Structures are given as C-alpha cells and as structure tokens.
Amino acid sequence: MEGKGIPLHFRGALNVILEWLASLPKSVLDARPLLWVRSATMALTAGQTTGIEEKLQAAEIALKDAGLDAQTRDLIGQIAAARSTLALTQYQPETVIIQSHRALEYLPPENLAFRFTANWTLSVAYQLQGDRAAASRALVEALSISEASGGMFSTILALSHLGLLQELENQLYRAAETYRRVLQLVSDQPLPNAAEAQLGLARIGYEWNDLDAAEQHGQQALLLARQYGHLLDRFILCEVFLARLKLAQGDVNGAAAILAQTDRATREQNFVQRMPEVAAAQVLTLLRQGDVAAAARLVQTHDLPISQARIYLAQGDSAAALEILKTLRQQMEAKGWQDERLKVMVLQAIALRAHGEKDKAVQLLGDALALAEPGGFIRLFVDEGEAMRLLIADFRVLIEKQKHRENQQIIEHADKILAAFTQPAAKLQSAISNPAPLRFGDYGQQSTMVEPLSQRELEILNLIAQGLSNREISARLFLALDTVKGHNRRIFDKLQVQSRTEAIARARELGLL
C-alpha cells in the first residue's frame, strides 16, 4: 500500500474511484461499511494519510450492530491492516505490530492482498524495533503470499525488504541479486517503490568501491524518492547516502552542502526518526573538515555511540573510545546484528592501534576481514583512512611471517582493500550488473549430471551439507518451508539420489561442495 508506487494510468483511475466515493452521501457509506473501508484503503494506496483514521472509525461504527459473520470478520481484518499501514507511515512500530496481528486474526486465508499487507508491515515494524529474527519470519510469509498471488507491487515491496534484511546480515551478493530482481520487475516504469532497490544497489556499489555505479543508482533513487513528495522520508536516506559518496570522492564541501539542506528538510518536515542518521553523516564531515569541537557538540544532542568513539579518537582519547566500543560490540553481538558488529570491530581495531596495542589491533583486524570477505566489503575499511591502510599493511606482514596460506581468500581481500587506497574510485565494471556468484563448488564436473543445479539449489545444497534442517534453511534464506522442500526434491532428482546423506556424498564426488 505504498502510496505513489503505482503507474500514472492506474493512479488516475484510482483518483476517479476516490472522487466517486467522496461524492456518496454518508448515509450510503454507513449502510455499506465496505465502502468506508475501500475509501480508506484506496486513499492509502494513492499516497494519502489525512482522514484515513476517521474513515476507519466510521466503518467500525457502521459494523457495530452487524453479526460477526465471515464478511464482518474480513472487514475487521481489513480495517486493522489499513491501520497497520497508516501507523507504519508514522513510524509507530508498536501500533503496527498490534494492528497487523489483529488483521491476521480476522482475515480469511483467501484474502491474500490484505494478509500480505499485514505480514509485510509486521516485518518492517519488527525490523524497526531491532528484532530481525521476527522480521525475517514475517517476511517469509509475505514472500510466500506475494508468490502465490503474483502481484507485482506486493512482490516489489517484499523483495525490497528482503534485500535490506540481507544487507543487514552482510550478505551483499545475495542482496544485490534481490534488488536486481526488483528492477527487472519494474522494467522501465518510474515507480517510486523502486527507490528502495536503487538505493540498496547504491549502498552495495559503494561498499564494493564501484563509486560510479553507486552514484548512478543513488541519483536514480533520489529521483524516484522525490515522487513521494513530503509524505515519506525516503529522499532523506538518499541525500545522506549521496553526501557520504561526496566524502569518498574527496568533495568535503559538497557533502557539507548536501547535509545542510537535508538537515533543514528533516527538521521542517519533522522526520525526527531520521535526525540521528543525518547527524552521524554530519559528524564525519565535520571531522574531515577538522572541526572536532563542532562534531562533539553535535554528538551530544543524539545517541550516536560510534560517532562518539570517533570524537574521542580525534581528541586523542583512545581509552575512552575503546570503552564505548567494547560495550557497543557486546550489545551488537547479543542482538546478532552482523552489520553493526562488523562496523564496531573495524573501529575497535583502529582504536587499539591508536592505544599502542598493535598486536591486538592486527588480530582483531584479521577477524574483521574474515567476516567482511564473503560480502566483499571494501569501503568499510578504506573510509577509515591512513590508520587503516597501515594496519592492513601490518596484517599482511604478519601473515607473510607466519605463512598462514590457508587464509588465502582473506589475504587476497586484504590486498584488494590496500589497492583501493591508491585507486579509491576504481571502477568494478560488472560488480553491480553481474555480481560474483557465491562459492559453492566447481561447476566443471557438472557434465556427469542429468541437469545442472541452479544457483539457488547449490546454495541450499551447501546448507544441507552444513547440517541445517529444512526449517532452518527456510529461515536463513527467507523462503517458505514448502519452497525449500521443493528445491530439495529437485536437487535429489538432479543428483539421482534418495536422501540427504547420498546427496552430500554425490555432490562431493562432483566437486559441488
């Protein structure tokens, strides 16, 4: 139900229907509460939020004396789903969760459209609260419904959120693939809903040091996000990203100008939930400008522990920085937030080096590189500047002395990061359009199979070999349980086996594991 994320010709037809509904006398609407509900839900679809709650309340009053039959229960569920969507536009995750669960309690199984809405808003709300496991569970159901219904807009919403959750798990290659699927669905239509996927690809391109692709996707995301007008805050996220990109390109004044404009818009439109993100980017810019005092004053107005650690490092107080980062890392590990954990570890390594604990810094950097390599993280390290370049050089020297060649992939990734310091805007021409596949074995021996395994089947086969159950694979890959079972059957058929044990053995014979 993302308002303006629909083609113009559909939007025109929608407005015609809304005008007709608005012309009906209140007595007609009261006699047919379904019309009240349609007026509210279609207005939400058209990007309107004013007057929605009043329409939903009118529908409830009209239903008050109705018996609790199947039709009434369905309408009650639709009202709750509409309220969950409205609450999401207002960043009220607690209300979203309450109303989404109420919707799922009342909606019949065949009402796929509203059950999708309830599950999708539930997933987003849990993610906003930081409960990523619950967000994943709700999204699995939303994806299953969108697959069953075949609705393009529901699929776009679900896949865009899936890409974000994959990013949060540092699964950048999978996230890029997911975002590209969104853009394939959108094709050449300028749908605002595609802003999420464009911005996701911009973030990933940036992290892979493909700054040209990052800028192209970031600018496209901003153009699409502006179509929402002042209804949603998507444009703020785009502008903050583009400011960070300016910093990477060495245009500090350009970054400061973007952020000054974004800060004004954020305050004028009261998007308070985005103020910390804007402030964190401003702190980085001020530090690059050498204005540590102004950065310190800004941090005091927001809860920004990583930014505060950066302030301490800039002030030469590495002990205070380490204290903050130690606590923060414990919190991130307890929550299972892989993205934030990695960010903290990188800055911890810098702080340890500044504190004179070089050996610990190098050891921690090695751990961070091991976590970063599967996702291809580069800018996370490069953005830390000369201190990180020296630390990675120390790491390479240590590895050479110890001759730990079993970590060849990590060593190669460290070399790639070192190269990026001397060529910061290096183009990775195919990184976004054709990201490297996950490493699930050598394809060369698949010729002895009846039919080669798909990339998804290879991914599931790898998880089977790790001992994960179907339910665990379902949660890990955000797939419905029946979908995983279907993949298992096809894997067994292609490998010509009857069990998991046989599948693993056969896969090893073929060099797939």
Q: How far is CA 438 from each of CA 242, 370, 447, rounded to the nearest angstrom?
A: 29, 15, 20
pLDDT at 14 over 80: no
Band (430; pLDDT cuts 50, 70, 90): very low
Query: Residue 92: left (phi > 0), alpha (psi -120 to 50), or beta?
Result: beta
pLDDT at 442 over 70: no
CB 258 within 8 A of CB 243: yes
Q: DSSP E strands: which ranges in 328-409? A: none
Q: How far is CA 173 from each of CA 92, 167, 168, 182, 373, rounded to the nearest angstrom?
A: 31, 9, 12, 15, 11
For residue 446, the one-letter residue type is Q
* Mean pLDDT on 92-113: 97
Classified as helix, coil or strand, 209 is coil
CB 340 within 8 A of CB 332: yes
Predicted confidence (pLDDT) per residue in 179-211, tens digit: 999 999 988 777 888 999 999 999 999 999 999
* Mean pLDDT on 20-44: 86
Band (219; pLDDT cuts 50, 70, 90): very high
Q: For position 227, what pLDDT does the model report?
A: 83
3-state helix vs strand vs coil in the chain, percent to 5? 75, 0, 25
What one-character-per-residue DSSP string does 10-43 give?
Answer: HHHHHHHHHHHHHHS-HHHHHH-HHHHHHHHHHH
Which residue segments constitute the domains of the chain, with CATH numbers given?
A: 1-149 (1.25.40), 318-433 (1.25.40), 443-509 (1.10.10.10)
**Helix runs in 46-131, H state only:** 52-63, 70-89, 93-106, 112-129
Q: How far apart are CA 318 and CA 352, in angstroms?
A: 7
Q: Which of the two residues, 202 and 429, has the higher pLDDT score?
A: 202
The residues, any chain, with a CB within 8 Å of residue 352's CB and separated by 6 or more, are: 318, 322, 358, 360, 361, 364
Q: Token match 């000054």: residue?
A: 260
Q: Which of the two residues, 426 and 310, has the higher pLDDT score?
A: 310
Q: Nearest-CA neighbor of 290 among 325, 252, 319, 324?
A: 252
Q: Which of 284-293, 354-363, 419-428 has the lowest mean pLDDT?
A: 419-428
pLDDT at 254 over 60: yes
